[in-house]
Structure 1
Amino acid sequence: MHKSPIIELGGIPFDLSIILMLIVTCIVVFVIAKLATRNLSVENPGKLQNFMEWAVEFVQGLISSTMDWKKGKHFLSLGLTFIMFIFVANLLGLPFGIVTDYHDASHAHIFGKEITSVTEEFAKHPDVEEVGVAWWKSPTADASVTMALALIVFLLSHFLGITKNTKSYFKHYFQPYWFFFPINVIEQFAKLLTQGMRLFGNIFAGEVLISVLLKLTALGAVGWVASALGLVVWQGFSIFVGAIQAFVFTILTMVYISQMIETHDEHEH
């Protein structure tokens, strides 16, 4: 695997590829949303408008399946943002990659800052001739990004539980019996971990397999054929995986919010 372009500012490491790809993801999502709502028409809607209407109805269905719509309608824009952002982020690393190779640690600089991931690699392995740095990849293939998204859901759902459903929120930690309190607390942090790591694991594994398939080209003509066929099949499957993971993350978000804002009686109903 290639290294990430990491620099330090004020002693804090920053992954430039992740920052770049998050910006690209935001721009792509914004452009899609803008184009889809630019010329709205009831009689003759365009393809993008139809797509956006389908996406809105799909997210409405997700919300309605997890909570009462009167409470859940406030989270429509949140769900739509999550599902579009994560889907686009999941797919960015599929079409191509941008990699730069460094043959000397003294050249590993950008914006006047040392690329520490490269210099450290040369320092650890003096016999290494070159170090590749990946600039273009799916941002969701990085655990820090997926865990940050999961943390947003975690903080939001608990904030809503405390402010909108205070009595039931604190009561559920002691159900069915008071000594279940530690288990219920651990469960909340387990949700945070699994939501973030599930997304990361699936997308990261896909990019690892793509890098393995690309390395088959070193085997000659047979390797080139196997690599090309494998990439076509896997990238097609990866689009499906990317869509499924965006769906899973979004519906889990709505489930967690529902568990916090609805009372126990409402869940039974």
Structure 2
Amino acid sequence: MVKSLEQVHEELNVWGFPHHPWEFTLGNTHIVLNPKTLVMTWIVMLLVILFTVSATRNMNMKRPGKLQLMVEEIFQFLRGLVYENMDPKKGAGLMSLIFTLFIFLLFSNLWGLVPTMMSPTADVNTTAGMAIMVFFLVQFMGIRYKGAGHFKHFLEPFPFFLPLTIVEELAKPVTLAFRLYGNIYGGEVLIAVLLGLLGLNTFIFGGFIPSVVWLAFSIFVGFIQAFIFTMLTIAYISQVVKEHEH
């Protein structure tokens, strides 16, 4: 029997997460929280900490372990991207943020492939929050290196282009957020649809692996989306830094 998307989500909700978000009012502000997203985000953060601590706890320069080699390769790859796009002296201070951003996004994107779990990045509130963080980081870097001159580009080449420039600037975090959210959420919905068509009893642990091909593709998408978000963050920062260098 073909099951609806709601029925599949209900069967996968073995942890008993509330079906409706938590809502409360703080002063004049109405706040809405998704409990499942909050729990999954904290789990991913814990996994990132465990991974990085395990990889660097017993570092050995002569005989590095597999996890240490993995972390070093990721760090060197990201450092190469940063140094290619901006002055190494300026980029060095961003490496901790860039590395943490990539690792967190990667773990978040892949966590939804674990049976009964969900990717925090499958919630638009998570991706929007990260995109807004990147937006303000870019503005901070621009002001840091150019002061008030950072806002000069809003009036170039002519003042009447100001509305278009503002729209272009605001479109950056919007596209960052929805590109990541759309790809990860779409993948999870497709998996749920396949489970509804084929039945949960045909899959491992009630089913999160409809096929080896789809699992491999989902892992690939998770890596690519983490890379794209991180690469665009580097590109946006390098734009304001390079303008200062010229």
Write the distance in 1 (CA, Å) between the matches of 2:98 and 2:211: 31
Quote the offset at 1:230 in angstroms: 4.1
Quote the offset at 1:220 in angstroms: 9.5
Write the distance in 2 (CA, Å) between the matches of 1:21 and 1:211: 18
Write the distance in 1 (CA, Å) between the matches of 2:145 and 2:178: 28
Write the distance in 2 (CA, Å) between the matches of 1:233 and 1:42: 37
Q: Which residue of the partner structure matches residue 132 of structure 2?
A: 151
Write the distance in 2 (CA, Å) between the matches of 1:24 and 1:218: 28
Q: Which residue of the partner structure matches residue 14 of structure 2?
A: none
Deviations 1:17-44 (A, max 9, x none): 0000100110010001101110011111
Q: Which residue of the partner structure matches residue 24 of structure 2?
A: 9
Write the distance in 2 (CA, Å) between the matches of 1:144 and 1:94: 20
Q: Which runs of 5+ in 1 are unaligned?
A: 98-135
Question: Quick check: which has more Rg, 1 or 2?
Answer: 1
Question: Counterpart amino acid of 1:196?
Answer: A
- Deviation larger for 137-146 or 66-75: 66-75
Secondary structure of the equivalent of 1:263?
helix
Select the residue among 155, 164, 172 that pairs with 1:174. Answer: 155
Q: Which residue of the partner structure matches residue 121 of structure 1?
A: none
Write the distance in 2 (CA, Å) between the matches of 1:265 and 1:40: 37
Q: Which residue of the partner structure matches residue 193 of structure 1?
A: 174
Select the residue among 44, 61, 66 that pairs with 1:42. Answer: 61
Write the distance in 2 (CA, Å) between the matches of 1:5 and 1:165: 46
Q: Which residue of the partner structure matches residue 247 of structure 1?
A: 227
Select the residue among 169, 176, 185 that pairs with 1:204. Answer: 185
Question: Counterpart amino acid of 1:6?
Answer: P
Q: Which residue of the partner structure matches residue 261 of structure 1?
A: 241
Secondary structure of the equivalent of 2:62?
coil
For normalisation by structure 2, the TM-score amounts to 0.84
Write the distance in 2 (CA, Å) between the matches of 1:143 and 1:250: 17
Structure-2 change in CA distance of 1:188 and 1:231 (3 Å):
same
Quote the offset at 1:229 in angstroms: 7.7
Q: Percent identity?
A: 41
Q: Is 2:194 aligned against 1:213?
A: yes
Question: Counterpart amino acid of 2:108?
Answer: A
RMSD over aligned Cα atoms: 2.3
Secondary structure of the equivalent of 2:32?
strand
Question: Counterpart amino acid of 1:201?
Answer: G
Quote the offset at 1:163 in angstroms: 2.8
Question: Counterpart amino acid of 2:92?
Answer: K
Deviations 1:34-61 (A, max 9, x none): 0111001111100011011101101101
Select the residue among 82, 90, 94 that pairs with 2:113. Answer: 94
Quote the offset at 1:166 in angstroms: 1.9
Structure-2 change in CA distance of 1:31 and 1:5 (3 Å):
farther
Number of residue-to-residue matches in the alignment? 225
